[in-house]
Amino acid sequence: MAFSLTPTLSPAVEPKTGMMTRVWRDFLDAFARLFKGAPGACTFTWGEDTPEGAVTAPVGSFFARTNGGASTTLYVKESGTGNTGWAAK
């Protein structure tokens, strides 16, 4: 199943601070609730700093870095079973 969701035309990152906007943080919170609790399902989580070595998830999961910048805001779990294998996109 494929789908596309866009919360608003708001930018994902505040130009002055480089931080993720509240609109997008709220959207990610709602989106993550869709996947919560499904055994073995991909996850969509967020937080500060890189998930590499810190966040355990199955391959195919997403991590939004709230203090990321260009090419370091979205991570995808591409390999492994533990907390490694994350790639910035």
Residue 41: CA atoms inside 13 Å, Cβ hemisphere, count? 11
pLDDT for 43 beyond 90: no
The mean per-residue pLDDT over the stretch 6-29 comes to 65
What pLDDT score was predicted for residue 88?
95
* 31 assigned to some structural domain: yes
Percentage of residues in the chain having pLDDT higher than 90: 33
Number of domains in the chain: 1
* 64 assigned to some structural domain: yes
pLDDT for 13 beyond 80: no
Q: Where are the alpha helices (DSSP H) in 14-60?
A: 22-35
pLDDT for 2 beyond 80: no
* 10 assigned to some structural domain: no
Q: Which residues, including other chains, have CB under 8 Å from residue 73's CB and lie 6 or more apart?
A: 12, 13, 20, 64, 65
Question: Is 62:80 a contact under the CB 8 Å cutoff?
Answer: no
* 6 assigned to some structural domain: no
